[in-house]
Amino acid sequence: MKRVLLSLAALMLLTATVGRASEPENRPLYLNPDAPIEERVEDALSRMTLREKIAIIHAQSKFSAPGAPRLGIAELWCTDGPHGIRPEVLWDEWDQARWTNDSCTAYPALTCLAATWNRDAAKLYGVSIGEEARYREKDVLLGPGVNIYRTPLCGRNFEYMGEDPFLAAEMVVPYIQGVQEQGVAACVKHYALNNEEQHRHTTDVDLSDRALFEIYLPAFKAAVTEGKVWSIMGSFNKYRGTHACHNHRLLNEILKDNWGFDGAVISDWGGTHSTDEAIRNGLDLEFGSWTDGLREGASNAYDMYYMAQPYLERIERGEIGTEELDDKVRRVLRLTFRTAMNNDKPYGSMCNEAHTEAARHIGEEGVVLLKNANHNLPICPDAKRILVVGENAIKMMTVGGGSSSLKVKQEVSPLDGIKSYYAGRAEVIYARGYVGDVTGSYNGVVTGQDLRDKRSPKRLIEEAVELAGTADHVIFIGGLNKSEHQDCEGADRKGLELPYNQDDVIEALADASDHLTVVLITGNAVTMPWLERVESVVQGWYLGSESGNILASVLSGEVNPSGKLPFTFGHRLEDYGAHSDGAHFPNHDKVFYHDGIFVGYRGFEKRNIEPLFSFGHGLSYTSFDYSNLQLSKREICDGESIEVRLTVRNSGGCRGKEVVQLYVADCEASLPRPVKELKGFTKVDLEAGESTEVCFTIGRDALCYYDDIRGEWIAEAGEFKVMVGASSADIRLVESFMLR
268 catalytically annotated: yes
Cβ atoms 128, 358 nearer than 8 A: yes
Q: How many CB atoms lie within 10 A of CB 370?
A: 21
- How many CB atoms are located within 10 Å of the residue 28 CB? 11
- The sheet carrying 730-739 orders its strands as 635-636, 730-739, 718-727, 656-666, 677-686
Average pLDDT over residues 263-291: 95
Whether 536 shows a pLDDT value over 80: the answer reads yes
- HSE-up of residue 182 (Cα within 13 Å, Cβ side): 31
The alpha helices in 381-527, defined as continuous H runs, are: 414-422, 457-468, 502-512
Enumerate the H helices of 48-144 as residue ranges. Answer: 50-56, 110-116, 119-135
Least confident of 3-17, 213-227, 544-558: 3-17
pLDDT band at 424 (very low <50, low <70, confident <90, very high): very high
Q: What is the DSSP string of 582-597?
A: T--SS-SSEEE-TTTT
Residue 237 has pLDDT above 90, yes or no: yes
Q: How confident is the model at residue 605 (pLDDT cuts 50, 70, 90)?
A: very high
**What confidence tens digit (pLDDT) does each residue in 630-677 have?**
999 999 998 899 999 999 999 999 999 999 999 999 999 999 999 999
% of residues, the chain, pLDDT over 70 = 95
* pLDDT score of 33: 82
Cα dihedral 156, 157, 159, 165, rounded to 10, equals: 130
Q: Over the chain, what is the mean pLDDT?
A: 94
- pLDDT of 40 strictly over 80: yes
b/e 483-501 (16+ beta carbons within 10 angstroms → b): bbbbbbbbbbbeebebbbb
Which domains, from first to last, does the chain contain? 353-568 (3.40.50.1700), 622-739 (2.60.40.10)
State the average pLDDT over residues 363-372: 98
Over residues 347-361, the pLDDT tens digits come to 999 999 999 999 999
State pLDDT tens for residues 88-131: 999 988 889 999 999 999 999 999 999 999 999 999 999 999 99
pLDDT exceeds cutoff 50 at 740: yes
pLDDT at 295: 52
- Return the pLDDT at 205: 98
518 to 62, 368, 376, 473: CA distances (angstroms):
41, 12, 11, 11
Tell me: pLDDT of 157 over 80: yes
What tens digit of pLDDT does each residue of 167-182 get?
Answer: 999 999 999 999 999 9
Amino acid identity at 172:
V
Please say if the pLDDT value at position 23 is more than 90: no
Give the pLDDT score at 19. 34
Higher pLDDT, 297 or 75: 75
The whole-number average pLDDT for the span 22-39 is 68
| Residue spans of beta strands (DSSP E) within 485-548 | 516-521, 536-539
**What local confidence, expressed as pLDDT, does residue 2 receive?**
38
The pLDDT of residue 292: 52
Higher pLDDT, 32 or 238: 238
Query: Strands across the sheet with 185-191, in order?
Result: 64-65, 76-80, 140-142, 185-191, 231-234, 264-266
Question: What pLDDT does residue 638 have?
Answer: 87
- pLDDT of residue 584 exceeding 90, the answer is no
Confidence of residue 297 (pLDDT cuts 50, 70, 90): low
- Asked whether the CA dihedral 400, 402, 407, 412 is positive or negative, the reply is negative
List phi, psi (to 5°) of 368.
-110, 125
Continuous segment of H or E residues that includes residue 359 = helix 353-366
CA–CA gap between residue 13 and residue 725 (Å, rounded): 65
Residue 588 binned pLDDT confidence (cut-offs 50, 70, 90): confident
What integer pLDDT is reported at residue 300 of this predicted model?
61
Which residue is catalytic, options 139, 164, 268, 492?
Answer: 268
Using DSSP's 3-state secondary structure scheme, residue 722 falls into: strand
Report the pLDDT value the prediction gives residue 17, as an integer from 0 to 100: 33
> What is the distance between the alpha carbons of residues 457 and 496, in angstroms, rounded to a whole number?
21
pLDDT band at residue 296 using 50, 70 and 90 as cut-offs: low
Structure confidence by residue, pLDDT tens digits, 673-731: 999 999 999 999 999 999 999 999 999 999 999 999 999 999 999 999 999 999 999 99
Dist. CA 678–CA 684, nearest whole Å = 17
